[in-house]
Amino acid sequence: MKKERISEILTVLVFALLALGVFQIHPFLVVLAMTATFIYILYRNDNEFEQRSRMESNQLANRVKTTASDAYLKQKRLYTLVANIPLPLVLLNIDGKVVLYNSFFEVFRDNKDDRELTYNKNDFEKDIHKFVNDAFIFERNIDKTMSVKGKEYQAISVPITTEGKFSGCVVLFQDISKAKEKEQMQKEFIADASHELKTPISAIKGMIEILNRDSFDDEEIRKEFMIQIQKENDRLEAIVRDLLQLSRLSSDVLVLKRDSMDFTRILDASISSLQQKAENKGLKIVADYQTHEDVFVDFEQMEVVVNNLLNNAIAYSDSGTITLRTYKKDDYYVFEIQDEGRGLSEENTHKIFERFYRVDKARSRLSGGSGLGLSIVKSILEAHNAILEVESEENKGSVFRILIKY
């Protein structure tokens, strides 16, 4: 019984005794008054108690509700976070049970059955299984590259500690296929570039060695060698120039200096510089400009594009006409260069934009090409968001078409 209630009852008893002893009130009246007072106290106290306990229960219920909703929110936040991490991720608890994994991790699951997944009992791909197993058993950071389903992954395990003790781990996987591919391409490029540079250097070296021999006195061959050395040197220069150009284009800092201008000015400049070369081969260059509208381009870079395309049209044609045409088509300004040269097979039409790819190595070498011209053209046009199309037929000729959006 509550303390206050006992003291109230005692007070009533004291008053009753006083009423009986001191004030000589009739015992019946005193008993009647006492009974009424007790009923009131008990009834009132019961009500109060009920009210208080109801209040306390409400408070408790509210507290439980808030805690539950807090926990729910926290869990939801964690789930949302994990689901939105764009890497396959799996979370194991202290017992090695898989408590959470995101949709990106699904690709590593084989059977996808409903059984409980643990670090050593799961349906993960073989290598993933081993890594998750090691991550849990060794309780430390592990970092490993692995190949799964044709992709390269960097797997990382991070142990979770609570008050200094291991309490599970997070294992995540980063897809590094693209970076690997880039690395491989760079390696190939360096190997190709070294090979391309080695060829003229070896030729020059060989000729100089012969010229330096004490016994050498053939004036005719000397002259021939000097011409050859000059040519190989020009080739070296062209390769180095194109390599530098390409590296500038592929470094992500290329800033185009665009200006509005009449594209045919670039075409005229290119024709002037290569006219003689074409005439030497008996080729005719025709300008067919159906539009003189301005386009918004980087003048210098577009000069490189046009020079490369016209140079190729001359180099890979033995006869006929080369036509430089401009016209409007829908939202595009179109420039095309058409030749009646040796043309390309369907397969080569796609390959010619690869670095150092040449259909006919000897012919390219003879024309002083570096094998990088079209890779440069492609990069410059990509930077301009321009479209490049090729139509070609073997022994009939080719059309290289550039579409620049107005």
Binding site for ligand ADP (CB under 6 A): 308, 312-313, 316, 339, 341-344, 352, 357-360, 364, 369-374, 398
The CA-atom distances, in angstroms, between 338 and each of 169, 235, 381 are 63, 26, 18
- In this structure, how many other beta carbons lie within 10 angstroms of the beta carbon of residue 278? 19
Q: How far is the CB of 222 from ligand ADP (least distance, A)?
A: 29
Q: How far is the CB of 399 from ligand ADP (least distance, A)?
A: 9
Q: How far is the CB of 220 from ligand ADP (least distance, A)?
A: 31
Q: In terms of Cα–Cα distance, which of 98, 103, 96, 97 is closest to 80?
A: 103
Q: How far is the CB of 392 from ligand ADP (least distance, A)?
A: 7
Q: In terms of Cα–Cα distance, which of 366, 267, 270 is closest to 316?
A: 366
Helix (H, G, I), strand (E, B) or coil at 380: helix
- Which residue's entry shows tokens 């992709």? 151
Q: How far is the CB of 387 from ligand ADP (least distance, A)?
A: 18
Q: Within 13 Å and on the Cβ side, how many CA atoms surround 21?
A: 6
Identify which of residues 168 and 343 has a Cβ nearer to ligand ADP in the complex. Answer: 343
Identify which of residues 245 and 364 has a Cβ nearer to ligand ADP in the complex. Answer: 364
Residue nearest ligand ADP by beta-carbon distance: 369
User: Based on the number of CB atoms within 10 Å of its own CB, is 62 exposed (0-12), middle (13-18) or buried (19 or more)?
Assistant: exposed
Identify which of residues 168 and 373 has a Cβ nearer to ligand ADP in the complex. Answer: 373
Q: How far is the CB of 350 from ligand ADP (least distance, A)?
A: 11
Identify which of residues 200 and 341 has a Cβ nearer to ligand ADP in the complex. Answer: 341
Q: In terms of Cα–Cα distance, which of 176, 115, 185 is closest to 148?
A: 176
Q: Residue 233 contacts by C-beta under 8 Å, 6 or more apart in sequence?
A: 200, 204
Identify which of residues 98 and 304 has a Cβ nearer to ligand ADP in the complex. Answer: 304
Identify which of residues 134 and 354 has a Cβ nearer to ligand ADP in the complex. Answer: 354
The DSSP H or E segment spanning 287 is: strand 284-289
